[in-house]
Amino acid sequence: MNYKDYYKILGVGKNATLEEIKKAYHRLAKAYHPDKNPGDRSAEEKLKEINEAKEVLTDPEKRKLYDQFGNDWKHYKQGGGQGGFDWSKYAGGRSGGGQTFNFEDLLGGSGDFFEMLFGQPFGGGGRRRAAHSRGHDLTAEANISLDEAYHGTSRQISLSGQTLKLNLRPGIRDGQKLKMSGKGSPSMNGGPAGDLVITVRIAAHPRFERRGDDLYLDLPVDLYTAVLGGKAEVHTLQGTIMIDIPKGCENGKQLKLKGQGMPVYGHPQRHGDLYVKVNVQLPKRLSAEEEALFRKLKELQER
């Protein structure tokens, strides 16, 4: 087995903090993401290595064993941590010198060898075999836009030569985790495979701010409409609508548009609200006639 330097794969030092490891992982995961490297097999393999390195180095127990035993850390863990005994070299029933061994003969035929390693008896006579441990979970991220979170979308994930389709329902939230059961690492001793856990990341929108199921938007309104009242055009995630601006609307006033927010996850027929903040825009260039009218208006207000 070739030695895998997980620290080198992530580009961090052996004394790197958990936060530094996570930052390095997110940076590399984005760089080698399938969406940025369509059809690039080398990028897919690199992403697998990155995920594997992150899985080990962000788990304190796994990282400790890896630092001590390198690639053999999994064998040590399977052995129950009993002095770091590496039983894998006896696989197939032979030692390094070519002599044939019987596992039960190693400890006088009592079967205590496997009991020492796994904490359970081995062999016949009513004894139970060692429990099959579950494979490790794998983690990944799905990056989507706010529009995709609103309408729902899907992503294709390439994993171990197979293509998986991930469906993201309307209203999904940033940081929400989705699990694909049995799509993680296979078990090393015949147990069930782990799961693939995907964290959804929603990119910031240039106009909308999301808070739960509600959306917030700044709306520029000209001075004359704010003073006299009128209509204003609002571009929502559902489409363009016209709203009423009340007469004498003050700068910073917040208008509530019911049901124009995000769909409620799992209940797409329900929506949050859209809060529109009015930003009154002052005219930048006034003609002499307009200035005169404003002065007259000021005089009228001062009477």
What average pLDDT does this structure show over 86-91?
38
Provide the CATH number for the domain around residue 273. Answer: 2.60.260.20
Q: How far apart (Å, rounded) are the C-alpha atoms in residues 7 and 25?
A: 11
What average pLDDT does this structure show over 241-247?
95
Model pLDDT, residue 72:
65
- Of 202, 230, 258, the domain-final residue: 202
Q: How far apart (Å, rounded) are the C-alpha atoms in residues 147 and 278?
A: 23
* Cβ atoms < 10 Å from Cβ of 215: 25
The predicted model scores a pTM of 0.55
Expressed as residue numbers, the domain containing 65 is 6-118
What average pLDDT does this structure show over 84-90?
39
Q: How does residue 249 score in pLDDT terms, banded at 50, 70 and 90?
A: very high
Total tally of structural domains belonging to the chain: 3
- Of 202, 224, 257, the domain-final residue: 202
Average of per-residue pLDDT values in the chain: 81
- For residues 12 and 112, membership in a common domain is answered with yes
pLDDT tens, position by position, 126-165 = 444 446 788 899 998 999 999 999 999 999 888 878 899 9
Which one-letter DSSP state was computed for residue 89?
G
- For residues 144 and 198, membership in a common domain is answered with yes
Percentage helix, strand, coil, to 5, in the chain?
30, 25, 40
* Cβ atoms < 10 Å from Cβ of 22: 15
61 has a pLDDT exceeding 90: no
Model pLDDT, residue 131:
60
- For residues 155 and 239, membership in a common domain is answered with no
Tell me if 76 is assigned to some domain: yes
DSSP string, 166-207: EEE-TT--TT-EEEETT-SPPPTTS-----EEEEEEEPPPSS
Residues with Cβ within 8 Å of 21's Cβ and at least 6 positions away in sequence, in order, are 10, 12, 54, 57, 58
| Alpha helix positions (H), 58-199 | 60-69, 73-78, 103-106, 112-118, 146-151
pLDDT tens, position by position, 155-192 = 988 887 889 999 999 999 999 999 999 998 888 888 89
Dihedral, CA of residue 68, residue 70, residue 74 and residue 77, to nearest 10: -10
Which one-letter DSSP state was computed for residue 94?
B
Tell me if 302 is assigned to some domain: no
Is residue 44 within 8 A of residue 111, CB to CB? The reply is no
pLDDT tens, position by position, 255-273 = 999 999 999 999 989 999 9
- Of 146, 181, 202, the domain-final residue: 202
Give the pair of three-digit tokens for residue 79.
Answer: 């052995």
